[in-house]
Amino acid sequence: MKQIFNYKYAFLLGLGILQSVICEAQIKTIKFEQNDSLQSIKNKPLVIFIHTDWCQYCQSMENTTFKNKEIIKLLNEKFYFISLNAEEEKNIWFNQRNFNYQPTGYKTGINELAKELATHNGQLSYPAICFLNSKNEIIYQHHGFLSAPQFLKLLHAISGS
């Protein structure tokens, strides 16, 4: 009986250790609707990652850049982060304005906010990263893939750390 208890204890302990190793740190994401109340508690720059499901560069950033432990730590400490799928069929209330989903064809479309934030020289470009200050004013935009070292450098520059 005692030996069975020891095996159960060892199994549960091993399971707990394995779970802590498997569970990686994740970026804390917020929704647009939460931004105003969070800014009233603590002012932080807002980082918006604009992407689509079909964009390979977007997926690459999600799987590499946004998995970097230093980036996760810095984003969680110094920024609010929103991941915006440009083609998701939903309306977004942000900055005292409603941004609507606009169909562009059969089963395709784009949200007006994504279009506004991801347009560069008159063309939509993905992935796009927009930094906004606590007053929701754009302070920096980047269009295209950013590697972890590039994005980390940008985060340090904007956060002043």
pLDDT tens for each residue of 81-126? 999 999 999 999 999 999 999 998 888 899 999 999 998 888 889 9
Which pTM does this prediction carry?
0.83
Q: How confident is the model at residue 17 (pLDDT cuts 50, 70, 90)?
A: very low
Q: How far apart are CA 158 and CA 131, in angstroms?
A: 8
42-67 pLDDT, tens per residue? 999 999 999 999 999 999 999 999 99
Provide the residue type at 158 as one letter: I
Maximum average pLDDT range among 21-30, 35-44, 56-65: 56-65
Residues near 154 by Cβ (< 8 Å), separated by ≥ 6? 129, 140, 142, 146
Q: What is the pLDDT of residue 107?
A: 82
Domains, the chain, with CATH or none = 31-159 (3.40.30.10)
DSSP helix/strand/coil, 71 = helix
Q: List the one residue out of 125, 159, 158 whose CA is nearest residue 142.
A: 125
